[in-house]
A and B are shown apart, each in its own frame.
Chain A
Amino acid sequence: MKNHKFSIYTITGFNKNNLQLLRLLIQQALTLRYKRSVFGIGWTLLNPMLTSFILWIVFSFLFAGKLQTGQQFAPYLMAGVLLNTFFQMGLLQSANSVSGNRNILTKVAVPPKIFAFAAALASFANFLIGLIPLTIIVYISGQGLELTFPIVFIIGLLLALFVAGIGLTLSILFIRFEDTTNVVNALLLMLSALTPIFYPISILSKPVKFIVTLNPLTSFLDLFRWSFSNNAIATWKDFAYISIISIGTFVFGSFFFKKHWSKTIAML
């Protein structure tokens, strides 16, 4: 039936049924989050705005003047909040998705990777919805959307790969050792402190700045802010860096998962 060598099936290693299942899982995650909550989808739009608003009250008088000319603090902050939520929520949900679906995985032969993917992609979808309030903030603060705006989708997909890669690795560790959850939570807190979510990189001292620029999330964030409303400086180096990191992490995660899954499932 399939004559072409490169179909979506051969690339992902999933068959048609697996992709249908993936779609259903993403739909499920979104339905559960929005449709059934009191505020519905309005909450998704409101939530990042409220979080950003509070951070804006606290930090705007400290940092607003430290940004480069032409850059605005409100969209800078909100872009940071959105991307960080995408990363942290996607990561935790992806890492917990395999053990959370243990009653399915120990009974039905489905590729367990699907659950980790679905969590990462659902978080991506959530991020895309969050771009709507961000657009509003961009225009309120006197900026406009840039023509480079579609690059955001590529950045988002790369971040989803990054998230799924770490998620796959952690999902094995979470099942094997319960206390990895605590370690990971502490590491995530440190990581978000080392990500320029609400502070400009320019205020940092040299050694801290060095660490922060090494953080791949910094590159993700710079690229996102730059492509969306030209609110940061990003170069092709950032792009190369996140591409390598994301694909590398994803390949490692898939490999690690494949290697350890057959023994881990016996522990579920």
Chain B
Amino acid sequence: MKDIQMEPMGDQALIIRFGTVIDRTTHEKVRQFAAWLDQHPVPGMVEYIPAFTTVTIFYDPVSLYEQRKTDFSANEPIISPYEKLRLFLEAALKQLSDQPPAAGNTVEIPVLYGGEMGPDLSEVAAYHQMSEEEVIRIHSEGDYHVFMIGFAPGFPYIGGLSEKIATPRKTSPRLKIPKGSVGIAGEQTGVYSLETPGGWQIIGRTPISLFRPEHNPPSYLKAGDRVRFVPITAEEYEAYKEGEA
């Protein structure tokens, strides 16, 4: 892999940059390296966060420092824990092939669009001068890609929203957006995994919990998954809810 940059983030984290703009090619590199991290031990690593264009590694500098004392001969020049990790990762990245990572799962997310569950559906329709049914059709026909999980537990950053229904955020954010709300913000679409404040245009709600603390992994989606939104009726919504409870 070429054009990869590394820099420290404070004294216990290191950020690896695979690119600077959001695109599928850069994201494949992020996913490929994340898959490598899942398979290989990295000295001192505590955990990592993959994002759109970066992977950040959190590490324990003290354990790296102590490994240095045992692994290296006495006349080795002093190197910092960060430097030791950087050298290790540089070597690892050189060996990484350019083969794309395995495809993610395709996950269906049932959505009850409009009404009380999607209070902004009419606003989105009006903004684009189309009917609510058209917005639902375009949103549910899309082929979506999960770039990363972040912001809140299980919250997916999903790319692939049709430009035809891309809508700016609300001018004033709501104080409470219920868990499961499906929204649009600019060219992104997503699902609120917890009740939080937020400024997205809410067009529907899913009965599925995206954050499931009792499961491992606790996130319903993961980076690299393909997502399809499937319209459901109020009766189906209730049936899903009962199934989850």
Partners in one complex: no
- Interface positions of A (Cβ within 8 A of B): none
- Interface positions of B (Cβ within 8 A of A): none
